[in-house]
Amino acid sequence: MALKQREVARRLYAKELQESTLFYKEHDDAYAPQYLLTPTGAKCNRVFVVGTLTEKENVGVDADYWRARIADPTGVFPIYAGQYQQQAVTQLSSIEVPSFVAVIGKLNVFHADEGPVKVSIRPEFINVVGAETRNRWVLETAEKTLERIEILKQGGENVAKVHDYYGTDTSPYIAVVIEAVKTLVKES
Amino acid sequence: MNLKELAEQIRDRFSNQGVKISASEIEQRLHSLVDDFKVPTEEASRSVVAYYSKLNLQQVSASATEVIYSKIKDINTEDKWINVRVRVVQLWEPNSPSIAQVGLLGDETGTIKFTSWSNAKLPILKDGKSYSIRNVVTKSWQGRFSISLNKASEITPLDEEVAVGRAEEEISGTIIDIQSGSGLIKRCPECNRVVVKGHCAEHGTVTGLYDLRIKGVLDDGEVVTDVLFNRELTERLTGMTLAEAKERAMEALDQNVVADAMKAVTIGRYYIVRGNKTPRWLLVTDFTEAPQIKDEDISAVLARAQELL
Ligand SMILES: [Zn+2]
């Protein structure tokens, strides 16, 4: 019996997600999972993000449809949860703004007519967490981002695709890592 | 590789087993096979190794006290000739006619995959039986070691049973999901199977006994692992005892409230988990919450980033 492999939850900063627009499928079949290939070479279907819930609003007319914003040190993750994300809808409705939250979710893409591609997160689960979890995520995401950049420099599997689409300059993403990690340094 | 280097390699392989053969003697045999008999180098090497292995076996059986058995947990190099004392833990279906047997062998220190090649024509290993197996070769694939039984291997059944310890693994990551079948469950009093709607798959309608467990998913951003927490560890992980769980379920008239409460205190948090690996699960034996990040961790990442700029 072939068990379908569960998609790994990738770690990346909001700034990188905002600049990611290359979606692709590995197979032509309609049910094949869609992946987002990011400028540092992360291949994402599911993500795990931790940040501050800064806004939430139920914008649904007939049914619940929640829009929320989660900020990390580099930018904002847009979150949309509707009737197929019932667990997340229930959680969003009760979490206070602002709070540190952890979100596990799938990526969603909007192709507005003629407009830019916009990526958001469709949450599977949202939980309130403590500052220690948030700090660990910021550090872990820095490590994962640097690891990806190192792999790109050595010529990993998606290098050609990443270079063709986004170019070869990874320095802006190294700068983003430094900016994010510096926020963890305690003022003394 | 020239024949001199090859001879030295073969010499080292045998000296690892405590057998001393001069490299020049090996080289001479190789030259004879390659130059005089026009045998390809690879085949010549194989032939010479087989020759000395047989010789070695005779010497070994003459002085049986000198056999050194390797422990499975110490196997960490490729292409090394070793001896093991093991029990057959599992036999799998070979996926090729060139393989006579494939499965898992174990000793006190852990388990390892083995392959017995058809052309070696070795005696068949029986499930659960213990053996001394001499002259097997270590192999490595994608970072995992295995042992290969070949023509030179010698299998002796043992009267005593070899105890099998399972090597524990330690992994870290975030719990990103808790699967259905977690929380408050009922087990069959006869066979301990999970009872679904008062029904045991083996014993039919039974009065189940309450238990707690978590079937979690631990994700480190690269790999996902299914992790199974038993009752004691579930109580420690969630801070909810079996008695409290039963009380909550009764108040709500719904068993699912227990799993929901457990999700609320675990999902999205970082843990370090130890346990025994089975094909599907990591059976958790201990865990801790990940420690707070340290200043050294921060400076290490900053230095790594600077280096990439
Ligand atoms: Zn039963």
What average pLDDT score do residues B29-43 get? Answer: 85
Is the entire prediction scored with pTM above 0.80? no
Nearest-by-CA chain B residue for A102: B268
Q: Does A22 touch chain B (CB under 8 A)?
A: no
Which of B130, B134, B136, B77 has the alpha carbon at shortest distance from B105?
Answer: B130
Q: Does A8 touch chain B (CB under 8 A)?
A: yes
Mean pLDDT of chain B: 89
- The C-alpha atoms of residue B17 and residue B24 are separated, in whole angstroms, by 19
Q: Specify the number of domains making up chain B.
A: 3
Q: Does any domain span residue B62?
A: no
CB contact under 8 A, B301 and A103: no
**Does residue B194 sit in the same domain as residue B302?**
yes
Q: Does B306 touch chain A (CB under 8 A)?
A: yes
Q: Does A156 touch chain B (CB under 8 A)?
A: no
CB contact under 8 A, A127 and B268: yes
The ipTM estimated for the assembled molecules is: 0.94
Give residue B213 CA to ligand 1 midpoint distance, Å.
18
Q: Does B174 touch chain A (CB under 8 A)?
A: yes
Nearest-by-CA chain A residue for B177: A125
Candidate from A58-67, A171-180, B211-220 with smallest mean pLDDT: A58-67
**Does residue B132 sit in the same domain as residue B207?**
no
Q: Per-residue pLDDT for B56 more than 70?
A: no
Taking 3-state DSSP, the helix, strand and coil percentages for chain A, each rounded to the nearest 5, stand at 30, 35, 35
Query: What ranges in B32-127 are assigned the alpha helix state H?
Result: 41-62
- Note down the domain range covering B38: 3-55
Q: Does any domain span residue B94?
A: yes
Nearest beta carbon to residue B301 from set A10, A133, A181: A181
Fold of the A9-187 domain: OB fold (Dihydrolipoamide Acetyltransferase, E2P) (2.40.50)
Q: What is each CA distance from B264 to A100, B35, B77, B212, in whole angstroms?
A: 14, 73, 45, 16
Q: Does any domain span residue B295?
A: yes
Q: Does any domain span residue B164?
A: no
Give residue B16's pLDDT.
78
Tally of CB atoms within 10 A around A85: 23
Q: Does any domain span residue B66?
A: no
pLDDT digits (tens, 9 = 90+) for B255-309: 999 999 999 999 999 999 998 877 788 989 999 999 999 999 999 999 999 999 8
Q: With contact defined as beta carbons under 8 Å apart, do B108 and B74 qualify? A: no
Protein residues with C-beta less than 5 angstroms from the ion ligand 1: B 188, 190-191, 193, 200, 202-203
Q: Does any domain span residue B208?
A: yes
**Does residue B31 sit in the same domain as residue B118?**
no
